[in-house]
Amino acid sequence: MKKLTSGVLLVVLSSSFVVAQAQQTRPSDTLKTQEIEGVVVTALGIKREKKSLGYSSQEVKADKLFDGTTNTGNIASQLSGKVAGLNVNTTSNFGGSANLVIRGVKSINGTNPLIVIDGSPVDNSVTSFGTQNGGFDLGNALSDINQEDIESVNVLKGAAASALYGERGLNGVIVITTKNGKGKDDKSWGVTLSSSVQGGIIDKSTFAKYQTRYGAGYDPSFYYGSAGDGLDYANFGEDASWGPEYNPNLLVYQWDSFDPTSPNYNKATPWVVAKNGPLKFFETPMSFVNSISLSKGSKGFNFNLTYDNNISNGLLPNSDLRKNTLSTKINYDLNPRLHATVYSTLTLQGTTGRTETGYNDNVVGGFRQWWQTNVDVEALKNAYFNNVGSPTLANNYGNVTWNRSADDDATPAFWNNPYFQRYQNYSTDDRTRTFSYAQLTYDVDSHINVTGKLSYDNTNLVFERRLAPGSYPQNFGVSGKSVGSGYHRYDLKRSETNYDVFANYKYDLASWLNLSGIAGGNVRRNHLSTLEASTEGGLIKRGYYSLDNSKAPVLNPVEYEATTQTNSLYATASFDFNKMFYVDGTIRRDVSSTLPEGNNKFTYASVSGSLILSELLKSEKSIMNFWKVRGNYAEVGGTADPYQLNYTYYTAGYFNTGNGNVNIYRPQTILNNPNLKPQRSKEFEFGTEVHFLRDRIIFDGAYYDSKTVNQLIRPDISAGSGSLGAAINAGQINNKGLELHLGISPIKNSNFSWEIDANWARNRSKVVELADGLQVYQLVGLVGGASIVASVGNQWGDIYGSDYVYLNGEKVVDPATGLYQTESSKVIGNVQAKWTGGLRNSFRYKDFSVSFLIDVRHGGDVFSSDMYYGLASGLFPETAVDGYRNSVPVLAGVNPNGQQNSTPVDTSAIDPNEYGNNPYDGYAIAPDKRFVYDGSYVKLREASITYSLPKSLLVNTFINDAKISIVGRNLWIIHKNLPYADPESSQMGGLYSYGSSVGSVPTTRELGVNFTFKF
């Protein structure tokens, strides 16, 4: 406390000294100060000198964001490792999402920062279809934005930086600034052409490695019977590799022995491991990206037009993405006082064959968890293509699979032929996205200008699923009933309209005091509508996917529609004391339509200050040319989702009473709350920025402490109340953290330069409280029985499940059975990283440049459902070592009395020969803790080599600039602890992006070549 008081006193005295000095004289800016006076774009599109900011922000220019890597098609993923305090969780799903978190999770139900383009908010919601047991990741909306339009990205990290956005600024703000048109000096058009081609190679460390010793079955015998010649049938009806040991001298009838199109038809084949495993199933992903930009600029007018075309195919068969983006931006001075800006972008995207995620019906999940190592994937491919051309009931309409039910029954026991699954049971989606804004600014005089702005963001999405006749039955459609064929459609429309009117003002109150700021209002209206419909009972006609092809009557569509509005007033005031001391204040008042009257009006404010100490400590001999200290305090918040105040009802069909039909409505399972309040986050931050040796060394550090209260959650309640959950305000999460950024230029001259850019951040969260009587709040249920929760007293994101019993740190063995003792409902991990970091090195020698980025996550646990099932089903090499499957081990540990265990496992209690019963790793025996792994990684995230053609070679040509780049992404996982998977790869976005490894597509090492020409 004494140190804090002394620090505050020092700031006050220093501030007083600055003001006193300023009253005597107003010195001109020094060269040292001008060198660091970069301008950045902050909240509401306001441009500020970076040195004046009293809060932490970090800007990434477009060249640092895009030039050193392949085009991922998603701006969010390309921020990974480049901003301290910004965590990026990227899935490996084709066209999938990237989840962004700034300064830790502040809301119990997860976070998503606000995305702003040129001062206008845009949607970045994650669209997913399904649950953790099986679904589709349709990506986050930021992937619709064309990277060729972007000039820079500025991450506003703390509450003070984002407070001007009120209830939307709770989770931080990412400000994107688009390019203005620039032409030649002769006012002619400027043209930029760029083209790239890139391909991917599977990183084998992120996919299953199979044992080669045992084949199909759940125990070591052939138990599916035998043919007339006395030779055994393989256990083709099972989906595990815990079966008989391979023997090339042993002949057995396998699944393809019953396929008339197979060369092995009616033949017994040697019992050996397959020549072509599941790695052969994957294809080479390729992307072709071409863009053209036209620009023109002159006094009072500039124009930019960009067209971008992206054609990609995924790692899985029958997956492709086609995206076309057209955008334009015009700045025009209607007269010397009236300025107009118009920006509009249109994205048309069509995707076929998105990756299935989760547990159920996921082809890759099957490869990782339930598979037979004797099955040849090339044989499956031939079986599909040989049969699909002549589909009949006898060949399951082309679904000739390795997992047939019996020798005389070709229907799938558990799994479809993976090629049938990809080519017949595929999904498609078409998305149209538009974002536009128009603004007029009128200069009232040299001190005030007034701006009126209208922005509109709209998305239309149609998502379709197909389940072809012959498929293994699955829960499908609106009813969720198990069917063998069907068609399922989901339509989504989402829009946001913003109306803004605000005034910018700037006054010199004295020679040493400047006042500037903004005052205005905003009306925001959001609309969301969805419609979901499906066939019921299967399809009448094969191959015709339409709702009118339903065998049973189609249920009423599930419809949802919500329109919300927030009205806001806001103002800022910024005081500049002699270009050395800056004080900012903001205030915003929101009125939300989703909260009850009386609780729907709320005000947020912030105050921040920065002091340029280097101006006070001037010295010609000092190696330090700039030093700033800053601090702030702010409050921001968040409103509720629609329809949480009063009950709403959905129709569930009708009941024929004999006298007419009576509508039936679904029961209300959530107890709504007419007294909800907005959640609120309070944060203070201290930081410093120091430049040495004329900016050869730049250091920026920040410490923050935030508290978020009145969380909006829906905990489970007793079913005896008539409901299953309730919408309430409850809970508090605290976040504390440290962010460091270091930039070094060890060498910098006309021929050679070397730049180092390093980021490091650490965040610690704590769930301080939940609702009365509630200690644990489930966020996501995981396959295998574990779950991710928020639990009181711990960090957000605990993994809950069963654990070993420990005594003095050693596992306790039950002396009666020889098995480990376990207990349920324990904390067995946490999904949050201990720290994250990124290190970029950039080298330039004349016209050559080289750069690479190392991206690091330390800590953050992962529950692997793949290991949970894959070890039990005998897929991985560790299950094939001598004695693993049939020995009677003595488990390492102690007895309850503390003595070392010497009791062998009791085989009357379990049979190690049966899958799932292995005393070490069988999920029927081992606790969930066995399948929790450290999710740390060190990755060579990006690398590039660029050659720019010398200007001398372009003289007397129509080309102004030309360069070629070889780029790479995810080239090398230098270190990881999670076996057979990428610890970064998650299931979907949102809460599903944390701490779960289940059936993910392997990561690819991406390589590409880019060409850019400017005319």
Give the count of beta carbons closer than 10 Å to the beta carbon of residue 462: 16
- β-pair partners for 969: 942, 1006
Nearest CA-CA partner of 922 in 970, 969, 867: 867
Report the pLDDT value the prediction gives residue 271, as an integer from 0 to 100: 98
Q: What gap in Å lies between CA 326 and CA 303, rounded to an integer?
A: 14
Give residue-wise pLDDT tens across range 396-416.
999 999 999 999 999 999 999
- Model confidence over 829-872: pLDDT tens digits? 999 999 999 999 999 999 999 999 999 999 999 999 999 999 99
Q: Give the max Cα distance, the chain.
A: 109
H-helix or E-strand spanning residue 18:
helix 2-24
pLDDT of 33 strictly over 80: no
Phi-psi region of 274 (alpha: psi -120 to 50; beta: other; left: phi over 0): beta
Residue type, 734: N
Most confident of 6-10, 40-44, 305-309, 358-362: 305-309
Higher pLDDT, 20 or 101: 101
| CB 336, CB 317: distance < 8 Å | no
Contact status, residue 323 vs residue 347, Cβ threshold 8 Å: yes
pLDDT in tens, 232-252: 999 999 999 999 999 999 999
The Cα 361–Cα 783 span in angstroms is: 13
Give the phi and the psi of residue 24 in degrees, each rounded to 5: -85, -40
Burial profile 694-733: b = 16 or more Cβ within 10 angstroms, e = fewer: eebbbbbbbbbebbbbbbbbbbebeeeeebeebbbbbbbb
Percent of residues, the chain, with pLDDT higher than 70: 92
pLDDT at residue 118, rounded to an integer: 92
Evaluate if residue 538 carries a pLDDT over 90. Answer: yes
Provide the pairing of β-strand 624-638 with 679-692: antiparallel
What distance in Å separates the CA atoms of residue 115 and residue 124, rounded to the nearest whole number? 7
* pLDDT given at position 14: 32
State how far the Cα of 731 lies from the Cα of 484, in Å rounded to an integer: 45
Q: Grade residue 519 by pLDDT with cuts at 50, 70 and 90.
A: very high
pLDDT in tens, 609-668: 999 998 888 777 788 889 999 999 998 877 888 887 877 776 666 666 666 667 677 666
Instruction: Report the pLDDT value the prediction gives residue 661, as an integer from 0 to 100.
Output: 66
Whether the Cβ atoms of residue 172 and residue 162 lie closer than 8 Å to each other = yes
- Mean pLDDT value across residues 982-993: 84
Residues 6+ apart with CB under 8 A from 330: 181, 301, 302, 303, 304, 340, 341, 342, 343
**Strands annotated E in 203-353:** 247-252, 269-271, 286-298, 301-313, 320-335, 338-352
Q: What is the pLDDT of residues 953-972, one digit of tens each?
A: 888 888 888 899 999 999 99
Are 862 and 983 a contacting pair, CB within 8 Å? yes
Looking at residue 459, what DSSP letter applies? E
Distance of alpha carbon 584 from alpha carbon 632, whole angstroms = 9
pLDDT tens string 325-335: 999 999 999 99
pLDDT over threshold 50, residue 393: yes
pLDDT tens by residue, 441-481? 999 999 999 999 999 999 999 999 999 999 999 999 998 89
User: What are the φ/ψ torsions at residue 797 (nearest 5 degrees)?
Assistant: 95, 30
Query: For 218-231, what is the mean pLDDT?
Result: 93
Least confident of 39-48, 277-286, 576-585: 39-48
**What's the mean pLDDT when you consider all of the chain?**
89
Helices (H) and strands (E) in the chain, counts: 10, 57
Burial of 556 (0-12, 13-18, 19+ CB in 10 A): middle
pLDDT at 471: 96
Q: Which residues contact 38 (CB under 8 A, 6 or more apart)?
A: 49, 50, 59
**CA trace torsion 872, 873, 874, 876 (10° rounding):** -80
CA distance 406 to 411: 8
Q: Decide if 1003 contacts 970 (C-beta within 8 A).
A: yes
In angstroms, the Cα distances linking 778 to 45, 86, 768, 792, 799 are 38, 25, 16, 12, 10
Please tell me the distance from the alpha carbon of residue 96 to that of residue 719, in angstroms, as a whole number: 37
Q: How far apart are CA 344 and CA 327, in angstroms?
A: 6
Whether residue 31 has pLDDT greater than 60: no
Q: How far apart are CA 84 and CA 100, in angstroms?
A: 12
Residue 656: the pLDDT is: 65
Helix spans in 254-391 (H): 363-369, 377-388
**Structure confidence at residue 27 (pLDDT):** 35
Q: Counting beta carbons within 10 angstroms of the beta carbon of residue 371, is it exposed (0 to 12), middle (13 to 18) or buried (19 or more)?
A: buried
CA-to-CA distance for 913 and 240, rounded, in angstroms? Answer: 13
Nearest to 1008 by CA among 416, 382, 402, 199: 199
What's the pLDDT tens digit per position in 80-105?
A: 999 999 999 888 888 888 889 999 99
Query: What pLDDT is stored for residue 487 in this prediction?
Result: 97
Digit-coded pLDDT (tens) for 922-965:
998 999 999 999 999 999 999 999 999 988 888 888 888 889 99
| pLDDT-derived band at 132, boundaries 50, 70, 90 | low
Q: Is the pLDDT of residue 672 over 80?
A: no
Question: What does the block give as tokens for 456?
Answer: 């509109």
**pLDDT value at residue 24:** 33
User: How confident is the model at residue 691, as a pLDDT?
Assistant: 94
Residues 868-897, mean pLDDT to the nearest whole number: 93
Per-residue pLDDT tens over the stretch 727-784: 777 789 999 999 999 999 999 998 999 999 999 999 999 999 988 888 898 888 988 7
pLDDT at 985: 87
pLDDT at 13 (0 to 100): 29
Angle, CA 633 vertex, CA 12 and CA 102 arms, to 5°: 135
Q: What percent of the chain has pLDDT over 90?
A: 65
- What distance in Å separates the CA atoms of residue 90 and residue 78, rounded to the nearest whole number? 10
**Tokens 């902050």, located at residue:** 42
pLDDT given at position 185: 58
The whole-model pTM stands at 0.90
Residue 221 near residue 244 (C-beta atoms within 8 A): yes
Residue 722 confidence (pLDDT): 53
The pLDDT of residue 4:
34
Phi, psi of 240 (to 5 degrees): -140, 165
Q: What is the pLDDT of residue 10?
A: 33
